[in-house]
Amino acid sequence: MARLELSDSSVAREIPMSFVSESIRRVSRKATNTFSFYSLACLAALSAHSAILRAAPQALSTKSSAQPRFAISFGSNLSTTPLDGRVYVVISTKEDPEPRTQILEEEVLSQQIFGADVDALAPGQGAIIADNALGYPTANFRDIPAGDYWVQGVLNKYTTFHRSDGHTVKLPMDEGEGQHWNSKPGNFYSTPVRVHIDPAVSKTISIHLTKVVPPIEPPKDTEWVKHIKMQSQALTKFWGRPMYLGAIVVIPEGWASHPDAHYPLLVNHGHFPRDFTGFRPSPPEPGSTGYALERAQTQYKFYQDWTTGKLPHMLLLLVQHANPYYDDSYAVDSANVGPYGEAINRELIPAIEKQFRGIGQGWARAIFGGSTGGWETLATQILYPDDFNGAWGACPDPVDFHAYQTVNIYDDKNAYWSIGPFGRIGQPEMRTPPGIILATTEGTNRWELVLGTNSRSGEQWDIWQAVFSPAGPDGYPAEIWDQRTGVINHEVATYWRAHYDLTAIMQRDWKTLGPKLQGKLHVMVGTADTFFLDHAVHLMQAALESTSNPHSDATFDYGVDQPHCYTGPPGSTTREGGLNFTQRVLKSSEEWIVKSAPPGADTTSWRY
pLDDT grade, residue 8 (50/70/90)?
Answer: very low
pLDDT grade, residue 17 (50/70/90)?
Answer: very low
Q: Tell me the mean pLDDT in the region 63-76.
A: 87
What is the percent of the chain where pLDDT is above 90? 88
Distance, in Å, from the CA atom of 502 to the CA atom of 401, rounded to the nearest integer, reads 9
Report in angstroms the alpha-carbon separations of 57 from 33, 60, 118, 125, 207: 39, 9, 8, 6, 14
pLDDT of residue 7: 30
Report in angstroms the alpha-carbon separations of 464 from 3, 171, 198, 393, 459: 15, 16, 38, 18, 9
**Nearest alpha-carbon partner for 554 in 396, 416, 444:** 396
Cross-strand partners of 154: 88, 189
pLDDT grade, residue 62 (50/70/90)?
Answer: very low
Cross-strand partners of 85: 118, 157
Q: Tell me the mean pLDDT in the region 381-400.
A: 98
Distance, in Å, from the CA atom of 315 to the CA atom of 265, rounded to the nearest integer, reads 5
Alpha-helix runs per DSSP H in 183-249: 233-239
Distance, in Å, from the CA atom of 156 to the CA atom of 145, rounded to the nearest integer, reads 27
One-character DSSP codes across 522-540 = EEEEETT-TTSTHHHHHHH
Q: Which residues contact 490 (CB under 8 A, 6 or more apart)?
A: 409, 410
Distance, in Å, from the CA atom of 303 to the CA atom of 215, rounded to the nearest integer, reads 30
Residues of the chain with CATH 3.40.50.1820: 218-400+509-596
**Nearest alpha-carbon partner for 19 in 526, 398, 370:** 370
Cis bond before residue 550 (omega within 30° of 0):
yes
**Which of 4-18, 366-380, 476-490 has the least mean pLDDT?**
4-18
Per DSSP, the three-state class of 481 is strand
Q: Nearest 5 degrees, angle CA 341-CA 517-CA 273? A: 40
Q: Which residues contact 366 (CB under 8 A, 6 or more apart)?
A: 264, 265, 266, 267, 388, 389, 390, 391, 392, 585, 589, 592, 593
Counting Cβ atoms within 10 Å, is residue 235 exposed (0-12), middle (13-18) or buried (19+)? buried
Q: What is the DSSP letter of 274?
A: S
Give 345-370 pLDDT, tens digit per residue. 999 999 999 999 999 999 999 999 99
Q: Which residues of 57-69 are buried (b: 16+ CB within 10 A; e: fewer)?
A: beeeeeeeebbbb
Per DSSP, the three-state class of 607 is coil
First to last CA, the chain: 38
Report in angstroms the alpha-carbon separations of 54 from 18, 59, 468: 45, 12, 27
Per DSSP, the three-state class of 299 is helix
Q: What is the DSSP letter of 358?
A: B
Give 240-271 pLDDT, tens digit per residue. 999 999 999 999 999 999 999 999 999 999 99
Q: Which amino acid is at 369?
A: G
pLDDT grade, residue 561 (50/70/90)?
Answer: very high
Give 568-577 pLDDT, tens digit per residue. 999 999 999 9
Give 465-493 pLDDT, tens digit per residue. 999 999 999 999 999 999 999 999 999 99
Distance, in Å, from the CA atom of 355 to the CA atom of 377, rounded to the nearest integer, reads 23
pTM as predicted: 0.90
CATH for the 218-400+509-596 domain, from 3.40.640.10, 3.20.10.10, 3.30.930.10, 3.40.50.1820: 3.40.50.1820
What is the percent of the chain where pLDDT is above 70? 90
pLDDT of residue 1: 73
pLDDT of residue 106: 87
Q: Which residues contact 310 (CB under 8 A, 6 or more apart)?
A: 304
Q: What number of other Cβ atoms are within 10 A of residue 180's Cβ?
A: 24
Q: Which amino acid is at 409?
A: I
pLDDT grade, residue 64 (50/70/90)?
Answer: low
Distance, in Å, from the CA atom of 485 to the CA atom of 296, rounded to the nearest integer, reads 46
Q: What are phi and psi of 70, to 5 degrees?
A: -140, 140
Q: Which residues contact 546 (CB under 8 A, 6 or more apart)?
A: none
pLDDT of residue 55: 34
Q: What is the DSSP letter of 237?
A: H
pLDDT at 45 over 60: no
Give 120-167 pLDDT, tens digit per residue. 999 999 999 999 999 999 999 999 999 999 999 999 999 999 999 999
Question: What percent of the chain is helix, strand and coil (3-state, nearest 5)?
Answer: 25, 25, 50
pLDDT grade, residue 58 (50/70/90)?
Answer: very low
Distance, in Å, from the CA atom of 565 to the CA atom of 374, rounded to the nearest integer, reads 10
